[in-house]
């Protein structure tokens, strides 16, 4: 084989090490598919031993980014160091040097995506990021290409492997929050700072990327409403079971009347919903398109080899585009330029305007008239109640769970403010949105 496409690999940690291994293991197979040998010419890694342990020869490891940027033989730069400032700087340099870039970096794309897509387009390069959402699951390319003929109406994603692993273990094995977080970290699923996972920030970043593509807009991390799983207790999980629900951290994007809603929060979904059986580190993205109807993309959302699978797929795509002389083939960033508006500015819905059903767990004084008093607050705020459970008494305190019909968020919040102030209410213990019925 005469043709060779050389790449520079930035970072040889969990994902970078996986990329090295997949390229090495499947080298012949990839060569046949691409019509070129894809080789790693340089690896940027400050922890040399780590890269050597992954099988990288010591002589190609460097700590100087210029060894990669200034090398005209390197056509593709693969950024898997993570973080924002340094990774952003390296990607800028690579694109300006005319190199295509593959990245798994959702943190960076969620805040600087638009700027980077424009830079890639200005330099006729690919900027590919399949691994940034759903790890190994193909979702970015299907949305950009296979489903491009649809108007996407909604996406519901389980896009954080760490929290899905934790919720699954808490639900099925009754494990403690701390214990399962430590397990997810040990398995390489969690971010360097796991707060990003458990507080929903990682899922929000992924949703910003997904929603930008799905709704043909530009959505950034700051647009997304976020709640994590740290307030979910064993009691909520027990009640969910009783109500035939499971609790999942969902990333939800919808477009209605030209407005986009983007929110990440723990959500109760019916046990028979396709997302309910997505367990452990698995991710899934449930998409509703106007032509396709419903489809679900399912697979491993994190971990060394699954994530590397998506990165290597992007490397192959970039290599093919280079061979055909069409890098930047599906970039689309020319909004506001004369004669071209391939994405639109769309309004982000205020959270108060969104609609859902709600599970509300309260501790109240166990005395006559309490249920009626609370029901009357709900009624006054136009919150219609679907069911009430009262099961557990602790001395003079009763625990009551309410499930509402679909209602506007601001009505629920107004009702809860009044309820929290009632003398008969000890505490509003938890509020979880219910979707998918």
Ligand X SMILES: N[C@@H](CC=O)C(=O)O
Ligand Y SMILES: NC(=O)C1=CN([C@@H]2O[C@H](COP(=O)(O)OP(=O)(O)OC[C@H]3O[C@@H](n4cnc5c(N)ncnc54)[C@H](OP(=O)(O)O)[C@@H]3O)[C@@H](O)[C@H]2O)C=CC1
Residue 160 binds which of ligand Y, Na ion, ligand X, none (CB < 5-8 A, kind-dependent): ligand X
What letter would DSSP give residue 142? I
81 binds ligand Y per the rule CB under 6 A: yes
316 class by beta-carbon count within 10 Å (0-12 exposed, 13-18 middle, 19+ buried): buried
Between CA 312 and CA 30 the distance in angstroms is: 9
Residue 190 binding result from ligand X, ligand Y, Na ion, none, given CB thresholds of 5 to 8 Å by partner type:
ligand X
Report whether 377 contacts 402 (CB < 8 A): no
Q: Which among 6, 75, 169, 206 is annotated as catalytic?
A: 206
The C-alpha angle with vertex 109 and arms to 258 and 52, in degrees rounded to 5, equals 155
Tokens describing residue 360? 């509300």
C-beta of 163: minimal distance to ligand X in Å?
7
398 binds, options Na ion, ligand X, ligand Y, none, Cβ within 5 to 8 A by partner type: none
CA distance 420 to 426: 8
Per CB under 6 A, 228 contacts ligand Y: no
Q: Is 106 annotated as a binding residue?
A: yes
- Complex with ligand X: residue 136 or 436, whichever CB lies closer: 136
Does 207 belong to an annotated binding site? no
Indicate which single residue of 5, 7, 9, 15 sits in contact with ligand Y (rule: CB under 6 A): 15
Number of CB atoms found within 10 A of residue 135's CB: 29
Cα distance between residue 26 and residue 17, in whole Å: 14
**Binding-site size, ligand Y (CB under 6 A):** 26
Binding status of residue 311 toward Na ion by CB under 5 A: no
As separate numbers, helices (DSSP H) first and strands (DSSP E) second, the chain gives: 15, 18
Provide, rounded to whole angstroms, the least separation between the CB of residue 308 and Na ion.
12
Give the CB-side neighbour count of residue 110, counting CA atoms within 13 A.
23
417 is catalytic: no
Does 17 show up as a binding residue in the annotation? yes
Counting contacts by CB under 5 A, is residue 202 touching Na ion? Answer: no
15 assigned to a ligand binding site: yes
Q: Structure tokens of 413?
A: 């919040």
Shortest spacing between CB 198 and ligand X, in angstroms: 10
Place of tokens 């407005």: 259
Which residue of 13, 88, 134, 303 would you call a contact of Na ion, by CB under 5 A?
134
| Residues 100 and 123 sit within 8 Å (Cβ to Cβ) | no
Instruction: Check residue 76 for interaction with Na ion (CB under 5 A).
Output: no
To Na ion, the closest distance from the beta carbon of 90 in angstroms equals: 21
Would the annotation count 162 as a binding residue?
no
Site of interaction with Na ion (CB under 5 A): 130, 134, 137, 139, 310
> Residues within the annotated binding site?
10-17, 106, 191
- Positions marked catalytic: 206
């Amino acid at each position: 084989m005469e043709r060779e496409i050389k790449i520079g690999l930035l970072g040889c940690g969990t994902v970078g090490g996986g990329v090295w291994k997949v390229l090495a293991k499947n080298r012949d197979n990839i060569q046949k598919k691409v019509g070129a040998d894809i080789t790693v010419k340089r690896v940027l890694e400050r922890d040399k031993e780590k890269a050597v342990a992954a099988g990288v020869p010591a002589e190609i490891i460097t700590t100087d980014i210029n060894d990669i940027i200034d090398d005209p033989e390197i056509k593709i730069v693969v950024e898997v160091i993570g973080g924002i400032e340094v990774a952003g700087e390296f990607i800028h340099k690579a694109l300006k040097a005319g190199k295509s870039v593959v990245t798994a970096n959702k943190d960076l794309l969620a805040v600087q995506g638009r700027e980077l897509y424009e830079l890639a387009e200005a330099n006729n390069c690919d900027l590919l990021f399949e691994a940034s959402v759903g790890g190994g699951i193909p979702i970015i390319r299907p949305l950009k290409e296979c489903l491009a003929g649809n108007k996407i109406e909604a996406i519901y994603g389980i896009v954080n492997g760490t929290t899905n692993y934790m919720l699954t273990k808490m639900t099925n094995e009754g494990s403690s929050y701390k214990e399962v977080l430590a397990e997810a970290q040990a398995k390489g699923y969690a971010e360097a700072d796991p707060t990003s996972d458990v507080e929903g920030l990682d899922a929000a970043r992924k949703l910003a990327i997904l929603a930008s593509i799905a709704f043909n807009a530009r959505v950034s991390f700051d647009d997304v409403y976020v709640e994590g799983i740290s307030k979910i207790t064993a009691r909520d999980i027990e009640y969910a079971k009783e109500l035939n629900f499971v609790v999942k951290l969902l990333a939800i994007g919808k477009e209605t009347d030209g407005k986009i809603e983007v929110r990440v929060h723990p959500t109760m979904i019916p046990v028979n919903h396709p997302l309910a059986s997505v367990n452990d580190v698995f991710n899934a993205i449930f998409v509703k398109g106007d032509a396709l109807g419903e489809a679900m993309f399912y697979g491993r959302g994190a971990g060394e080899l699954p994530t590397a699978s998506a990165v290597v797929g992007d490397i192959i795509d970039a290599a093919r585009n280079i061979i055909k002389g069409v890098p930047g083939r599906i970039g689309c960033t020319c909004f506001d330029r004369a004669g071209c508006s391939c994405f639109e500015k769309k309004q982000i819905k205020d959270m108060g305007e969104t609609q859902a059903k709600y599970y509300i767990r309260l501790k109240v004084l166990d005395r006559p008239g309490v249920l009626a008093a609370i029901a009357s607050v709900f009624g006054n705020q136009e919150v219609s109640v679907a069911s009430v459970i009262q099961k557990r008494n602790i001395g003079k305190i009763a625990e009551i769970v309410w499930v509402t019909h679909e209602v506007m968020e601001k009505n629920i919040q107004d009702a809860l403010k009044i309820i929290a102030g009632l003398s008969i209410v000890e505490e509003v213990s938890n509020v979880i949105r219910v979707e998918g019925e």
